[in-house]
């Protein structure tokens, strides 16, 4: 009954929800199905009465879980349902956040950890030299060392390990990689408001009721992106931090991570209200963890306060690489409407003229995308392949669908359809987007440059190119700049150094390039994206280098 919307269906939903309040559920799989249905209805309620009954039913889920026998509760492990448990090898930023936000509910699941030699070796590197033999054969080993290292303090093993890693003195990237390479399974018991999928709903400014049903139409996306775009607001700090927390909970309860949510910039969170109860939060990345050349915002989509989707958009010179993942509980909802509003918001942020969806999103090496029919979802929105082999397969499938409305493309065909990217071209977009300038191509040029000019000495390469490019661009001294802008300038100097005629550029073009490089480390990636997109000389130079 959940996805049906009519006066009769509404009455039936109310009756079923009231009956369920008096019904026990002793089977784990049944409780899980009930939970997913309630989550869907919370995001897509018929009216206030249905929503109140759904809220009450979800609040009762933790007690239902507790009443299950131990065996049944174990079958809900990794579900993200309130009062169950999950474990996942989270990276250092997410592990640190879990230990700080939920200190009593997060620790290392040692029973699922098997690479003890690697942990011994890692801790021997991080401990003092005099302690090193504690991890040798015949020493106390890591288990006893962890107990002793707490010094009587009331710390979990996870808190102690995070403390040890936090004091390494290693560069942040190396430290985070070292922690992640251990693959420590971190167990978390999500419970309480805002700390599980069950009780994830925030307080929306206004609830949208679906009395007239769901909007599952897929309109003309090019037309939708050409109409006046939605308003964009920078979130105040308190709201930004709340949205980042919601994004992290939504991911952690589904055993996932996203770079933008692991390294967020609370000063660069943009909010768009998309209609029909949608709030779209676009989360920028802290300056030191941004992509080298592209601008990037991850997003969390909330429907009536319920997190329903996440993904991201990477933009370079007017081309947006777009990825959206709708959480499984909500895929029978308003997916096309959601994707349209997300792209309208990205158009407002970046002003892109071409949109690309990577083949992984279509099902290449992604069973989840294949099963959800992702290729046809994007095709309905107007995305088209340009690969001749994929076009031939698509034409054959369209003929079969036209002849038999019940026909469904088999998995092996869906894999062929996911063989290459698909594109949406807007006015002013690239005529051949498959030949576009890619950040990966520029990175390859930088790698060859460092090997050729500096014998692979990357420290010297960064130092000397920053000094040389600084002189050419008229900014030999940068000590007064914010540290993040100085680092961004150094990183992008390796790209600028590829351009042989940089010194002959007009003064205005060189000043504009300095502004682009500083913006990469400034507070907003949106400003950086617009400044980069507007620097046509830089784009032409990089295109010439990569094509050569």
* pLDDT for the residue 115: 92
Least confident of 68-72, 182-186, 257-261, 356-360: 68-72
The domain segmentation of the chain, as residue ranges, is: 7-74, 86-188, 221-435, 439-547
* pLDDT for the residue 286: 97
Query: Dihedral, CA atoms, 134, 137, 142, 144, nearest 10 degrees?
Result: -70
pLDDT, average across residues 256-269? 97
Q: Is 305 left (phi over 0), alpha (psi -120 to 50) or beta?
A: left
The whole-angstrom separation of Cα 279 and Cα 301 is: 6
The whole-angstrom separation of Cα 375 and Cα 220 is: 17
Backbone phi, psi, residue 254, to 5°: -110, 15
H-helix or E-strand spanning residue 216: none
Q: How much is the CA Rg of the chain, to the nearest whole Å? A: 26
H-helix or E-strand spanning residue 19: helix 7-20
Write the pLDDT tens digit of every residue in 425-443: 999 999 999 999 999 999 9
pLDDT, average across residues 130-145? 87
pLDDT, average across residues 90-98? 97
The whole-angstrom separation of Cα 472 and Cα 475 is: 8
Provide the b/e sequence for 272-295 (b: ≥16 CB within 10 Å).
Answer: bbbebbbbbbbbbbbbebbeebbb
* pLDDT for the residue 435: 94
In sequence order, the 6+-apart residues with CB closer than 8 A to the CB of 495 are: 292, 293, 442, 446, 542
pLDDT, average across residues 331-353? 97
Structure tokens at 2: 């959940």
In sequence order, the 6+-apart residues with CB closer than 8 A to the CB of 162 are: 92, 95, 96, 99
Write the pLDDT tens digit of every residue in 283-337: 999 999 999 999 999 999 999 999 999 999 999 999 999 999 999 999 999 999 9
Q: Is the pLDDT of residue 79 over 90?
A: yes
CATH code reported for the domain at 221-435: 3.40.630.30
Q: Is the pLDDT of residue 132 over 90?
A: no
In sequence order, the 6+-apart residues with CB closer than 8 A to the CB of 289 are: 259, 263
What mean pLDDT value characterizes the chain? Answer: 95
Write the pLDDT tens digit of every residue in 145-161: 999 999 999 999 999 99
Write the pLDDT tens digit of every residue in 429-488: 999 999 999 999 999 999 999 999 999 999 999 999 999 999 999 999 999 999 999 999
Sign of the Cα pseudo-torsion (496, 546, 544, 316, in order): negative
The whole-angstrom separation of Cα 34 and Cα 27 is: 11
* pLDDT for the residue 135: 87
Provide the b/e sequence for 434-468 (b: ≥16 CB within 10 Å).
Answer: eebbbbeebeebbeebbeeebeeeeeebbeebbeb
The whole-angstrom separation of Cα 14 and Cα 54 is: 9
Contact, 518 vs 481, CB < 8 A? yes
pLDDT, average across residues 38-63? 97
The whole-angstrom separation of Cα 387 and Cα 226 is: 27
In sequence order, the 6+-apart residues with CB closer than 8 A to the CB of 94 are: 248, 251, 252, 257, 261, 262
Query: Dihedral, CA atoms, 307, 311, 312, 313, nearest 10 degrees?
Result: -110
Q: Is the pLDDT of residue 138 over 80?
A: no
Sign of the Cα pseudo-torsion (400, 406, 409, 410, in order): negative
Percentage of residues in the chain having pLDDT higher than 90: 94
* pLDDT for the residue 218: 87
Percentage of residues in the chain having pLDDT higher than 70: 100
* pLDDT for the residue 205: 83
Sign of the Cα pseudo-torsion (208, 213, 218, 224, in order): negative
* pLDDT for the residue 219: 87
**DSSP string spanning 235-292?**
PPHHHHHHHHHHHHHHHHTTT---HHHHSEEEEEEEEEEEETTEEEEEEEEPGGGS-S
Contact, 44 vs 338, CB < 8 A? no
Backbone phi, psi, residue 73, to 5°: -65, -40
pLDDT, average across residues 355-375? 94
Exposed, middle or buried: residue 137 (CB in 10 Å: 0-12, 13-18, 19+)? exposed
* pLDDT for the residue 380: 94
The whole-angstrom separation of Cα 282 and Cα 345 is: 9
Helix axes 458-472, 483-496, angle to 10 degrees: 90
pLDDT, average across residues 177-181? 96
The whole-angstrom separation of Cα 61 and Cα 174 is: 41
Structure tokens at 44: 């897509």
Query: Closest Cα to residue 312, out of 342, 271, 354, 273?
Result: 342
């Amino acid at each position: 009954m959940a996805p049906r919307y009519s006066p009769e269906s509404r009455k039936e939903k109310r009756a079923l929800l009231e009956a369920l309040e008096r019904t026990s559920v002793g089977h784990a799989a049944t409780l899980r199905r009930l939970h997913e249905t309630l989550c869907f209805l919370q995001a897509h309620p018929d009216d206030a009465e249905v929503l109140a009954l759904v809220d009450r039913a979800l609040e009762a889920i933790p007690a239902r879980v507790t009443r299950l026998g131990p065996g049944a509760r174990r079958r809900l492990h990794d579900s993200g349902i309130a009062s169950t448990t999950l474990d996942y090898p989270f990276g250092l930023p997410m592990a640190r956040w879990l230990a700080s936000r939920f200190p009593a509910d997060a620790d290392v699941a040692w029973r699922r950890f098997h690479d003890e030699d690697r942990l011994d070796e890692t801790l021997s590197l991080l401990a003092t030299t005099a302690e090193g033999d504690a991890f040798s054969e015949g020493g106390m080993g890591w288990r006893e060392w962890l107990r002793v290292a707490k010094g009587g303090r009331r710390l979990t093993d996870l808190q102690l390990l995070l403390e040890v890693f936090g004091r390494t003195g290693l560069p942040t990237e190396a430290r985070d990689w070292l922690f992640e390479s251990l693959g420590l399974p971190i167990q978390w018991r999500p419970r309480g408001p805002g700390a599980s999928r069950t009780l994830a709903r925030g307080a929306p400014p206004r609830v949208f009721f679906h009395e007239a049903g769901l909007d599952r139409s897929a309109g003309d996306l090019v037309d939708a992106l050409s109409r006046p775009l939605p308003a964009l607001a920078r979130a105040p700090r308190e709201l930004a931090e709340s949205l980042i927390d919601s994004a992290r909970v939504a991911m952690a309860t589904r055993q996932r991570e996203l770079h933008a949510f692991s390294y967020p910039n609370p000063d660069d969170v943009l909010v768009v209200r998309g209609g029909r109860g949608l709030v779209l939060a676009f989360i920028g990345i802290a300056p030191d963890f941004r992509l080298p050349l592209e601008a990037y915002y991850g997003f969390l989509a909330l429907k009536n306060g319920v997190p329903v989707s996440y993904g991201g958009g990477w933009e370079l010179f007017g081309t947006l690489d777009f990825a959206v993942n709708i959480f499984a509980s909500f895929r029978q909802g308003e997916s096309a409407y959601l994707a349209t509003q997300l792209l309208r918001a990205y158009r407002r942020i970046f002003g892109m003229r071409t949109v690309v969806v990577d083949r992984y999103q279509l099902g290449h090496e992604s069973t989840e995308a294949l099963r959800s029919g992702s290729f046809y979802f994007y095709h309905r929105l107007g995305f088209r392949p340009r690969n001749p082999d994929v076009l031939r397969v698509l034409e054959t499938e369209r003929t079969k669908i036209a002849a038999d409305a019940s026909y469904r493309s088999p998995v092996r065909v869906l894999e062929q359809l996911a063989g290459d990217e698909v594109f949406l071209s807007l006015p002013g977009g690239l005529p051949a987007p498959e030949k576009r300038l890619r950040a990966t191509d520029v990175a390859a040029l930088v790698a060859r440059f460092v090997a050729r000019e500096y014998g692979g000495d990357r420290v010297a390469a960064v130092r000397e190119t920053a000094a040389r490019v600084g002189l050419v661009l008229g900014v030999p001294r940068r000590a007064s700049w914010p540290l993040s802008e100085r680092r961004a300038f150094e990183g992008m100097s390796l790209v600028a150094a590829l351009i042989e005629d940089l010194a002959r550029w007009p003064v205005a073009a060189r000043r504009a390039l300095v502004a682009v490089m500083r913006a990469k480390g400034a507070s907003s990636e949106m400003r950086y994206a617009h400044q980069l997109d507007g620097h046509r000389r830089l784009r032409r130079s990089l295109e010439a280098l990569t094509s050569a």
